Amino acid sequence: MAADGTEPKVETSPKVSDEVRCTTCYMCACRCGINVHLREDADGKMKVRYIEGNRRHPVNKGVLCAKGSAGIMQHYSPARLRKPLKRVGERGAGEFQEIEWDEALQIATGWLEAVRQDDPKKLAFFTGRDQSQSFTSWWAQQYGTPNYAAHGGFCSVNMAAGGIYTLGGAFWEFGSPDWDRTKLFMVFGVAEDHDSNPIKAGIGKLKTAGGRVIGVNPVRTGYNAVADEWVGITPGTDGLFILAMVHELLRSGHVDIEYLSRWTNAGYLVERSPGERFGLFTRDKDDKPLVWDLNTGEAVPFDTPGTKPALKGEFPSVEGGRCVPVFELMARKYLEPEYAPEAVAEKCGISAATIKRLAAEIADIAFNQAFEIPCEWTDFRGEKHLSFKGRPVSFHAMRGISAHSNGFQTCRALHILQLLLGAVETPGSFRFKPPYPKPVEAHPAPHANSVPGSPLNGPHLGFPRSPDDLAIEDDGTAKRIDKAFTWENPLSSHGMMHMVISNAYAGDPYPIDVLFMYMANMSWNSSMNTKGVIEMLTAKRDDGEYVIPKIIYSDAYSSEMVAYSDLILPDTTYLERHDCISLLDRPIGEIDAACDAIRWPVVEPDRDVRGFQSALLDLGARLSLPGFVNDDGSAKYADYADYMVNHQRRPGVGPLAGWRGNGGGEGRGEPNPDQLQRYIENGGFWECHIPDKARFMKPFNMEYQDWAVERGFFDKPFPYVFQLYAEPLRKFQMAAEGYGDKLPPEHLRDRLQMAMDPLPVWWEPFEGMQVDNSEFPYHAITQRPAAMYHAWGSQNAWLRQIHGENPLYVPGPIMEAHGLEDGGWARVSSHHGSIVVPIRRMEAVNCKTMWSWNAIGKREGAWALGDGAPETTRGFLLNHLIHELLPPKGDGLRWSNSDPVTGQAAWYDLRVKIEPAEEHEASEPRVSAQKSPVGQGPEDLAYGEEWK
């Protein structure tokens, strides 16, 4: 109280802001809705006073994570680039000259025009944390280079591909647990994930309602810390663990026979007579797979009404051979003793008893707590149903599974487990977000035929159905610089960004002239073998020219990659530009609604920067790419906002689905000039609820199919059943057996035989298989910190106080075994390299696994950080230990350190040894400092003073 003895008067209703503008967060790919409070400062400039979650937004429903809450510091970061930059010093030095936009775009046009007329392949255009892939890929397609992809190849393509080939949708963003109805949630290998806020909200809701969370993860932090049960699995063994549970469920008959026979290909008849059809489905003349109908005793198309498919037995195939239902093949395979809990327990580091108990618990909840939602609906066979059967068990998985060289098949194994329980698209289980699910057939196949001066023959990325879809020349060499869609990784549906720099450096399959990148810190935390990559980026030919001659890069901040680029196109921050989160792209749908959203300039840039998409449109026009210019050669789109409204991919279908045509159009309709205004009025997003009858069983539910077609997700109904048995994989396997005209090289045949199994299998992660496990006995992995986003959180004055450095967390037993000291230093080595880092002791972790937070380590001079910043002295990257190639094998060949099916980078296969090291003043290896084109951040901050 005040000196006079009375309580001071507190202003309890102070003014908060002058205006609130609703847009979409971009501190990560969760893309939550935010209310940006703006308030005038002393000199009348609108400044961001406060950012809060948008309560009405389907994704975050009002909540906001640490990164989003630190958006102010991100937006006003001292590391923001201010003007286009032209490199004047050596690559890597960070010496630049500021230039005008017109000059920058002219330089770029000059480089790109020449390449396009000569050989479009010589441009490699790769984008990282890109949220406009449908646009950037379209640009690349019109330009004509086959060398385009986003970052999915090193991120989580295993989840995407595993999901699409099995379910027609993936964990990775395209589905979610039915949080309101699920009673058991089992999460594999997730620290944060893209769906970061919804997962936190879901776990909170589920546990508060008395539900159970089981965390399968070598490390018990974050979601796994709050899990009711923690399964501290040994890295790389999830496939075995899952298939052992499958074994248990099959052995005890805890599988949803009805679900399997109706909604999966369990009944499809598989050719068993030796020959070039062995393992393929037997089909009728219009190519429909057949099932054996127990009612009529004959083979009928799978979608015939009223069929009761046989799940076991041997039957005649159309081709006169013998065939067996998928289910019997699967059951026989997984009932083999090699999949018994006892057989896998030791490898997984999980006792057989635990595996059995978990299988029992899952089955118990799935079947004994099943429920029904009364609701009439009709399936694609025309059969009517009176209710949706609920299965209250849900699963989720991410990079803990995908970032291994066996991730694709492990992901499929998990989907098989879900399907055996009838726990996909049923109430209470894992359900899809429109526009998903979509079967493989609804997706394009890859295209890679480039012709000078003209567009590519089709979209770059897709889902190969057979070897015919591979992107290889007749002599077998790769058409793409990243060697995606080759025999080394046939189903690399997201491309392989992590191979681009090393392949371009090696000129294998061919040299390139221009490397054009967007939003990816490829010279640092985004690459394996960081130091090696830096050497490749700076390597010169005899004639003094860089081996990778020209590098154009768009970043918004002074990152490590900026220093290694020749021409910088400075982007705006997420609060300063137009952007669309489109259904054509990685949408933000919810399980009960289709949604998309926009970003718009809620504050004006105070620097000479441009939204990258607008700059790319300008480049497209300067190159007069088809679709970017009018007949008179003038630019077709003024900027990205114009494109978002007026571009049409298919007649009536554009980047934004909301308020089309006269404003009433949902998904389809003519461009609507006030579309953006309508989005802004609605809080920056569009949400279209699925009618009750259409909410569940989407792939089979005609109400959903018709609803989806009306909204333009696809042009005709696309019902299908889930694929326990993946026939496309079998086609590659057959090629490996010597069938067909496109055959893999000898040295890859055994590997393809193993990897392309149409039923999920497990193999030892490659690095573990190839290095001497007695020399490298331990696993080393990274985790996403909840309060950091990769590299870019470190320029954030608030977040860097939370994670300014990253010790390596080492299990107690390992500390003791090697006389390591808590808080001391250690040298950690892999087959490729070694690092010296600070260490800390931890018990709640798999006893063979050490880990650290990802991407905290920084290069001196980057991110406008001051000298001796802890990120550069006590921070480090595990990337220095991980190589994009595995050690040479007997045959002298080096396989890439990735999944043999998809090419997914196998970050978490890493094997290491550890020994004590004396105290260092900085972690090793140390990369020399880069000059900062933006100077260093200010000493002190007192944000908000202006309003006092």
Partner 1 sequence: MTTLPDSTQKKLGLVIDLDICVGCHACAVNCKEWNTGGYGSALSDQDAYGAEATGTWLNRIHTYEVTPDHGPAQIIHFPKSCLHCEDAPCVTVCPTGASYKRAEDGIVLVNEDACMGCGLCAWACPYGARELDAKAGVMKKCTLCVDRIYNENLPEEDRVPACVRACPAGARHFGDLGDPDSEVNQIVADRGGFGLMVEQGTKPVNRYLPPRPRDAHESSPVDLVELAEPEAKGFLGWLDRALEKVG
Partner 2 sequence: MHPAPSLIFFTVLSGLGLGLIISLGFGFGPQDQGFALVACFLALAITGGGGSLSVLHLANPKNAWRAFSQWRSSWLSREACLMVATMGLFALYAAIWVFSGYRLWGLGLLAATLALSTVYATAMIYAQIKAVPTWSFTPTPALFLTLSIVGGIITCRLLQGIFGDTGEAWHVLPAIAVAAGVSIWWTTQAAGAGRTATGSSIASATGLGRQGQVRLFEGPHTGRNYLLDEMAYRIGRKRAFELRRIGAYVGFLIPLALAVIALFTSSWLLLAVLVCHIAGVMALRWLFFAEAEHVQALYYGQE
- Where along the sequence are the contacts to ligand MGD (CB under 6 A)? 28-29, 67, 128-129, 151, 154-156, 188-194, 196, 216-219, 233, 235-236, 238, 398-401, 404, 518-521, 525-526, 554-557, 559, 561, 571, 573-574, 612, 781-784, 786, 788-792, 851, 854-855, 878-879, 907-908
Nearest CB to partner 2, comparing residues 33 and 807: 807
Q: Are 882 and 530 in contact (CB under 8 A)?
A: no
Site size for partner 1 (CB under 8 A): 112
Site for partner 1 contains 52 (CB under 8 A): yes
Task: Report the alpha-carbon distance of residue 544 to residue 938 in Å, rounded.
Answer: 39
Residue 91 binds which of Mo ion, partner 1, partner 2, none (CB < 5-8 A, kind-dependent): none
Nearest CB to ligand SF4, comparing residues 193 and 618: 193
Residue 192 binds which of ligand MGD, Mo ion, ligand SF4, none (CB < 5-8 A, kind-dependent): ligand MGD
Among positions 801, 891, 939, 945, the unique one binding partner 2 when judged by CB under 8 A: 801
Residue 682 has a CB neighbour count (10 Å cut-off) of 16
Among positions 475, 542, 918, 945, the unique one binding partner 1 when judged by CB under 8 A: 945
Core vs surface per residue 498-508: b (16+ CB within 10 A) or e: bbbbbbbbeee
Residue 313 neighbours by CB under 8 Å, 6+ apart: 292, 324, 325, 328
Site for partner 2 contains 811 (CB under 8 A): no
Of 771-830, binders to partner 1 (CB under 8 A) are: 786-787, 795, 797-802, 804
Nearest CB to partner 2, comparing residues 12 and 801: 801
Among positions 25, 29, 38, 51, the unique one binding partner 1 when judged by CB under 8 A: 51
CB of 853 to partner 2, least distance (A): 10
Task: Report the alpha-carbon distance of residue 552 to residue 449 in Å, rounded.
Answer: 24
Nearest CB to partner 2, comparing residues 742 and 840: 840
The dihedral built from the CA positions of residue 930, 932, 935 and 937, taken in this order, carries a sign that is negative
Helix (H) or strand (E) holding 913: strand 911-917
CB of 344 to partner 2, least distance (A): 30
CB of 21 to ligand SF4, least distance (A): 16
Helix (H) or strand (E) holding 614: helix 612-622
CB of 315 to partner 1, least distance (A): 15
Site for partner 1 contains 297 (CB under 8 A): no
Nearest CB to partner 2, comparing residues 192 and 579: 192
Site for partner 2 contains 3 (CB under 8 A): yes
Task: Report the alpha-carbon distance of residue 178 to residue 248 in Å, rounded.
Answer: 25
Residue 945 has a CB neighbour count (10 Å cut-off) of 9
Which amino acid is it at 555?
D
Give the phi and the psi of residue 639 in degrees, each rounded to 5.
-165, -175
Nearest CB to ligand MGD, comparing residues 116 and 586: 586
Task: Report the alpha-carbon distance of residue 177 to residue 184 in Å, rounded.
Answer: 10
Site for partner 2 contains 192 (CB under 8 A): no
CB of 784 to partner 2, least distance (A): 15
Task: Report the alpha-carbon distance of residue 499 to residue 801 in Å, rounded.
Answer: 34
Site for partner 1 contains 378 (CB under 8 A): no
Residue 842 binds which of ligand SF4, partner 2, ligand MGD, none (CB < 5-8 A, kind-dependent): partner 2
Among positions 244, 865, 886, 901, the unique one binding partner 1 when judged by CB under 8 A: 865
Query: Do you know the residue count of the chain?
Result: 948
Nearest CB to ligand SF4, comparing residues 23 and 234: 23
Core vs surface per residue 12-41: b (16+ CB within 10 A) or e: eeeeebeebbbbbbbbbbbbbbbbbbbbee
Residue 805 binds which of Mo ion, ligand SF4, partner 2, none (CB < 5-8 A, kind-dependent): partner 2
Site for partner 1 contains 5 (CB under 8 A): yes
Helices of type H across 264-349: 326-335, 341-348
Q: Which residue has the tokens 């909170």?
A: 204
Site for partner 1 contains 261 (CB under 8 A): yes
Task: Report the alpha-carbon distance of residue 812 to residue 914 in Å, rounded.
Answer: 13
Residue 31 binds which of ligand MGD, ligand SF4, partner 1, none (CB < 5-8 A, kind-dependent): ligand SF4
Task: Report the alpha-carbon distance of residue 738 to residue 692 in Å, rounded.
Answer: 50
Site for Mo ion contains 520 (CB under 5 A): no
Task: Report the alpha-carbon distance of residue 583 to residue 95 in Å, rounded.
Answer: 41
Q: C-alpha dihedral over 582, 584, 589, 591, to 10 degrees? A: 170
CB of 60 to ligand SF4, least distance (A): 6
Residue 466 binds which of Mo ion, partner 2, partner 1, none (CB < 5-8 A, kind-dependent): none
Task: Report the alpha-carbon distance of residue 813 to residue 604 in Å, rounded.
Answer: 55
Stretch that binds partner 2, among 256-264, 489-497, 664-672, 799-807 (CB under 8 A): 799-807
CB of 910 to ligand MGD, least distance (A): 8
Stretch that binds partner 2, among 139-147, 233-241, 725-733, 803-811 (CB under 8 A): 803-811
CB of 803 to ligand MGD, least distance (A): 10
DSSP secondary structure, 354-387, as one string: HHHHHHHHHHIIIIIT-EEEEEEEEBTTS-EEEE
Structure tokens at 115: 């390449």
Helix (H) or strand (E) holding 420: helix 407-420
Report the DSSP beta bridge partners of residue 378. 384
Nearest CB to partner 1, comparing residues 246 and 534: 246
Binding stretches for ligand SF4 (CB under 6 A): 25, 27-28, 30-32, 60, 64-65, 67-68, 196-197
Nearest CB to partner 2, comparing residues 483 and 874: 874
Angle at alpha carbon of residue 821, lines to 815 and 826, rounded to 5°: 80
Site for partner 2 contains 804 (CB under 8 A): yes
CB of 900 to ligand SF4, least distance (A): 32
Q: Are 126 and 520 in contact (CB under 8 A)?
A: yes
By Cβ distance, which residue is nearest to ligand SF4? 68
What is the contact mask toward Mo ion in residues 145 to 184, using x (rule: CB under 5 A)? ----------x-----------------------------
DSSP secondary structure, 656-676, as one string: --TTBTTTTBSS-SS--TTHH
Report the DSSP beta bridge partners of residue 175. 432
E runs forming strands in 561-646: 567-568, 579-581, 593-599
Site size for partner 2 (CB under 8 A): 10
Site for partner 2 contains 201 (CB under 8 A): no
Q: Are 626 and 142 in contact (CB under 8 A)?
A: yes
CB of 522 to ligand MGD, least distance (A): 7
Report the DSSP beta bridge partners of residue 390. 371
Q: Chain-centre distance of CA 269, in angstroms?
A: 34
Residue 92 binds which of Mo ion, ligand MGD, partner 1, none (CB < 5-8 A, kind-dependent): none
Task: Report the alpha-carbon distance of residue 662 to residue 669 in Å, rounded.
Answer: 8
**Site residues for Mo ion per CB under 5 A:** 155
Query: Given the rule CB under 8 A, which residues bind partner 2?
Result: 3, 801-805, 842, 844, 870, 874
